[in-house]
């Protein structure tokens, strides 16, 4: 069955990793998110894939090319956001690729298992539906589209992101569909939403109202992850680590302890006294230790350096990043080419041990996590003896001076440092004026 992946969006909710990068190429457990999705499709028997691309499309095209690296047939279509927005409009661009046959449609933010796709394909073969809609059970459906179903499992209504406490059910639209081409006609008759886009759920509601057979497919306990915010990357990372197998390609010095499933890339050196407790992935051309402690579910990209007496736990460390000696990084996501100065602490636990929330537009967004460290964008420099409190987000290209405690989010291209005046210290934040050099304060 032909498959359409909607991967055109930028991902503004993924701050600070939405700055100058495609969210679909963020690495988890050694591969970009989109590649993990494509591998699941391949394992389910899918061979023909269309990527609806937009933001940073050249990066996706350069990486996946025509799909030969996975023995797949991958084609592309560009979404021009000046002509149309929303998941419905993006799906409509697949009409020529699909032709007159049923097709699999998947939101590009999702991570899922091959078994889910296989089970949906089996359900579709029963011939009871014009559209098959995957649903999952969630405790808080306010971030999703809620689905109401009748006694026979057919959808009767879809409500997009109901207000907290006002949802009629806890069954959420998982963003995976098998459709007949009649969906395209419904999209053409769908009114734009308040943001000017066309939501695929509104088009599906049209089919429901016209008594088409929109049947639900309950995913049950099957794993899936909607990468809506940056901390969701840690969930996906941990899931894929369960499939890791031990392979040591680099140089391992004497007195190194490696326990469990650990991958060490080519030309990487692990220095004496280091303890690595898998599952852990370390890329190529890295330097680890001496005396470093790398704890389970840690991904370290290519060209990274983890210095003397550092501890890294359950984190994603992207390529080119350096974590200097005596530092601790727990349950964090660190972007590319970041430099953490000596004795930097990325704390992951509140003093009261309560759930960690993110702050967005003046509101607190619960993460459901008791442990969450820093979410740090690309090209950030952090001075020595700095403390990054649990759940803070640091925008790309920012500079944090030494001895600073960061307890609130930092926007991109911002300098934060301590200015001494009358023997009292306080924070100073300012936009970095790169065209005038870094000496100007």
Q: Which of 111, 4, 2 lies closest to 52 in space, CA to CA?
A: 4
**Residue 35 vs residue 419, higher pLDDT:** 35
**Does residue 435 register a pLDDT over 90?**
no
Distances in Å between the alpha carbon of 150 and those of 23, 136, 371?
A: 36, 16, 39
- Per-residue pLDDT tens over the stretch 380-404: 999 999 999 999 999 999 999 999 9
For residue 429, the model assigns a pLDDT of 74
Q: Please give the Cα distance from 151 to 149 (Å, whole number).
A: 7
More confident position, 82 or 333: 333
Asked if the domains at 3-228 and 240-436 fall in one CATH topology, the answer is no
Mean pLDDT of the chain: 91
Give the per-residue pLDDT at 440.
Answer: 39
Give the contacts of 7 (CB within 8 A, at least 6 positions apart).
22, 24, 34, 51, 52, 53, 54, 60, 108
139 Cβ neighbours under 8 A, 6+ residues apart: 170
Residue 431 has pLDDT above 90, yes or no: no
Average pLDDT over residues 186-205: 92
Residue 88 above 80 pLDDT?
A: yes
Q: In a 3-state reduction of DSSP, which class is residue 181? A: coil
Using CB atoms within 10 Å of the CB of residue 289, give its burial: 0 to 12 exposed, 13 to 18 middle, 19+ buried.
buried
Could you tell me the residue ranges of all domains in the chain? 3-228, 240-436
CATH of 3-228, one of 3.90.1140.10, 3.90.550.10, 3.40.50.1370, 3.40.225.10: 3.90.550.10
Which residues have a catalytic role annotated?
325
User: Over 80: is that where the pLDDT of 145 sits?
Assistant: no
What confidence score (pLDDT) does residue 439 get? 44
Place of tokens 């089970």: 119
Q: What is the DSSP letter of 69?
A: G
Q: For the segment 279-300, what is each residue's pLDDT rounded down to a tens digit? A: 999 999 999 999 999 999 999 9
Q: Which CATH architecture has domain 240-436?
A: 3 Solenoid (2.160)
Q: Quick one: how far is CA 304 from the chain centroid?
A: 21
Give Cα 127 to chain centroid, integer Å: 34
> Between these two residues, 22 and 284, which has the higher pLDDT value?
284
Residue 425's pLDDT band, with cuts at 50, 70 and 90, is low
| pTM for this model (two decimals) | 0.89
Output the pLDDT for position 168.
Answer: 64
């Amino acid at each position: 069955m032909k498959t359409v992946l909607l991967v055109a969006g930028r991902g503004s909710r993924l701050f600070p990793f939405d700055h100058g990068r495609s969210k679909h190429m963020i690495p988890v457990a050694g591969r970009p998110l989109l590649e993990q999705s494509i591998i699941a499709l391949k394992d389910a028997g899918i061979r023909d894939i269309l990527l609806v691309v937009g933001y940073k499309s050249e990066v996706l095209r350069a990486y996946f090319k025509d799909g030969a690296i996975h023995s797949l047939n991958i084609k592309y279509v560009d979404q021009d956001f000046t002509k149309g927005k929303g998941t419905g409009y993006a799906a409509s661009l697949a009409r020529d690729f699909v032709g007159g046959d049923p097709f699999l449609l998947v939101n590009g933010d999702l991570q899922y298992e091959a078994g889910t796709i296989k089970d949906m394909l089996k359900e579709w073969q029963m011939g009871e539906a014009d559209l098959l809609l995957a649903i999952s059970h969630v405790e808080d459906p306010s971030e999703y589209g809620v689905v109401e179903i009748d006694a026979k499992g057919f959808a009767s209504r879809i409500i997009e992101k109901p207000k907290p406490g006002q949802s009629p059910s806890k069954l959420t639209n998982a963003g995976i569909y098998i459709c007949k081409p009649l969906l395209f006609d419904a999209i053409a008759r769908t009114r734009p939403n308040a943001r000017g886009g066309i939501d695929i759920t509104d088009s599906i509601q049209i089919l429901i109202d016209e008594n088409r057979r929109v049947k639900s497919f309950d995913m049950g306990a099957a794993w899936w992850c909607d990468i809506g915010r940056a901390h969701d990357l840690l969930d996906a990372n941990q899931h894929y680590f369960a499939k890791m197998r031990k392979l040591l390609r680099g140089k391992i010095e004497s007195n190194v302890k490696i326990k469990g499933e650990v991958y060490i890339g080519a030309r990487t050196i692990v220095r004496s006294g280091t303890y690595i407790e898998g599952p852990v992935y370390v890329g190529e051309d890295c330097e680890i230790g001496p005396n470093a402690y790398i704890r389970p579910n840690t991904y370290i990209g290519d060209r990274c350096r983890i210095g003397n007496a550092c501890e890294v736990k359950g984190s994603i460390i992207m390529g080119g990043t350096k974590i200097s000696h005596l530092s601790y990084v727990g349950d964090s996501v660190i972007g590319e080419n970041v430099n953490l100065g000596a004795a930097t602490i990325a704390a992951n636990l509140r003093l009261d041990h309560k759930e960690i929330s993110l702050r967005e537009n003046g509101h607190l967004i619960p993460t459901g996590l008791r442990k969450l460290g820093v979410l740090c964008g690309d090209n950030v420099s952090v001075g020595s003896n700095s403390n990054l409190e649990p759940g803070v987000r640091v925008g790309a290209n920012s500079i944090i001076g030494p001895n600073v405690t960061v307890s609130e989010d930092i926007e991109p291209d911002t300098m934060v440092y301590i200015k001494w005046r009358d023997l009292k210290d306080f924070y100073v934040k300012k936009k970095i004026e790169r065209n005038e050099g870094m000496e100007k304060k």
